[in-house]
Structure 1
Amino acid sequence: MFDIFAQTPQIYRLLFDLWLKINMYSHDFPHALERIELLFVTIKPALLGRGAPAKVAARQPVQPSDADPIAPEMAFAITGHSPRRFYRRLVHLVDLLVRAARGILLECELDVDGPGDAQEAAEAAFTVLLGMWQTAEDRRSLVWALRDGLLNLVVELNTTRPTYGTRLLLDWISQQAIYVKVLRALSPGGQPILFGNSEVDMTMQERVAILHSSPSRRAANALINAQRDGRGSKDWPTHRARCQSIRAAIDKYVLQFYSSAELSPLDLRF
């Protein structure tokens, strides 16, 4: 890529020409703003020299010396190598951005002052919740919301007016059911979990059944029954060793797909 740019430096000139004279190519402010946003995203990586992309990937600060030396020459060529005229074009570009932003603010003001829609508000709230949960370090807030009946609300809204946002949230909640605390919040006491999809609901019930018949639970019940019969002290050491061996094999298998940081010991056994 660097060799191609060195052979055809006009690419830089076209890029700066479009950036500085955007109003000449697009007279409609909203469309011009979209073009400018795209240019701002692409112009920085286009101007980097050799070795600079590695610094960007490593999140290291990029210095002016990291720019391709051909780029400034081609940029100033647009204005006849006059820094004054170059910066004048930049100021004009800022004025264009301000005028475009005013139009967007007016549209936003009309939307805010307009009559609200309860379903749209709920969908927006779901989007915010999903973004918050996906970036959270734990699942406490998700568990609290599920205990308060969030799943029923999402399923009802998805049935009434299905959208991409509600489907995405339902899919994500179903994936989180691999964690014990989330599954318990979805099914307190082992009650059915209804996602509105027969296959997903069946899978959830299978998970709940596994949770309530886990090896740890069976081992604990076996110990209690053995102690009641008076043979716990004799049989339990052998039984405990067998349970530990099975658990170690299961843990080794699960860790092929998940790291120990992703799953707690309880989730790992589940």
Structure 2
Amino acid sequence: MRSGTARNAVLGLHALGDLLGIVNEHPERVAPLRPFIEPHVWHSIVSWLDFLHPVHHVNTPRMKHVPLSAIAGAFYALFSVKPALRDLFDQTPHVHQLAFDLLLRVDDHCVVSEALAREDNFYLLFGVLKPALLLSDGPAQIIPMRLVPDPRASDVILPMVGGSLRRLPRCCLRMVRLLVDACPPGTDISMTTRSTVGSAAMPMNQLTVIAIFISPFLPVPCQARDVVRDLVELLSAFLTRQALEAASVTCQALFGIWHRASDRRSLVWALKDGALRLFLVLYRVYPTSAMDNILRWIAHRAPGDQGLRVCQVHDLGPAQIRRAAISVVRKDWKMHKPRSRSIEATMQDASCGYLTAVDLTPLDMRFQPLCTRAYIRSHLSHLRADLPPTNTVDYHMLVNFTTSPTSHALAPQTKRRSEKEPFLLVTAHIRGWGQAYASTLKACIAPVRYVLDGYVPVVDKWAKPGGQWRGDVVGLW
């Protein structure tokens, strides 16, 4: 490792890293260099990396002389220009093997905290995983580059993660913990921090990798329970730091898991581990549009799952989180449980009609009427005061869930729709997930005398506190 050949190889890797680092800032300059790299340099680079790689020197006196900084800088420089040299990477898949072996087993080859403090460019190693695993499917000058999985890289990394891509997030999380543990408690983990040990490039890149690969690319229906739990614990640790960019990216990683999963188990697990409280704390001190979307997604998706039993009412966050309807339905879980099978419901279900033809989810179709009925129960005294004792016209009550706080409007109808006694139609004004405009959903309909007599809607019936009840009225309008 201290021979003249090794020293020349190290100097060559340093020079290559500096050169490709400059070229990476100007991708159009890669093409003129290609004729030189392909016949003269490429295979020598791979040979040097293989010769100097610490996997060959573990537990030997040579290990302390392994140039980790030069190796990390060379890997980072090579993979940063991978889109322009894709065929060369395909010809030598061994370079992926070398990079993944050092990345996924970095703590077997060195003490990470000492390497970060001693080696100038060692932190660049942790930015290699994303370009190593992905390809771009088009030139940036023509279309914005989209990232797709590299099949050769996937074949190489599979044996290293036990033959299952579900184990890759565990490896990523382990690397993040190594990086975070190497940063002293008072060090900010932030995109703006430029110091070697506390640099944001390290944990931020890894968390971005987790967010990318867990959600769209890993072909697994659901992440493991321990991955979700570890991400929540990691988020809690990041919230103790002054800079919160890493915490925000952790939230996006969790959202990617929930959004791409085939079921809602991962959402329920995270809620049980206290993710909602952490999200709201982060939203209060570091509000972003991404966090706002995540909270709205939780508010719309959690009611259809066991998450109802673990959600708590907070005075933070968007109106969908602040409203107390979740708490009301949670208390009425026994009555709500038979209807929690709303994931199988159809838009034509007679028990929950709709007035505007928009693409509302079955969960919205089931849960929002229950929220509206809960609102009526809590505002019964005001509603009775607004209704005259004798009525000759029908009434329409609109509960607006798109405002904060939730409001309602009661108005008489100029035209009678029924020749029988006057009826009260209650609708809810909501905004479904992914909908730019609010929609109007029919919540319940009953004779006006139900309200005047002190009855309130409870799931599918009207009841008094004393126990008297009357059946719900469906299909009269």
TM range (shorter): 0.3 to 0.5
The TM-score, its normalising length taken from structure 1, stands at: 0.41
Q: Which of 1 and 2 has higher RCO (CA within 8 Å, sep 6+)? A: 1
The TM-score, its normalising length taken from structure 2, stands at: 0.26
Whose helix fraction is larger, Structure 1's or Structure 2's? Answer: 1
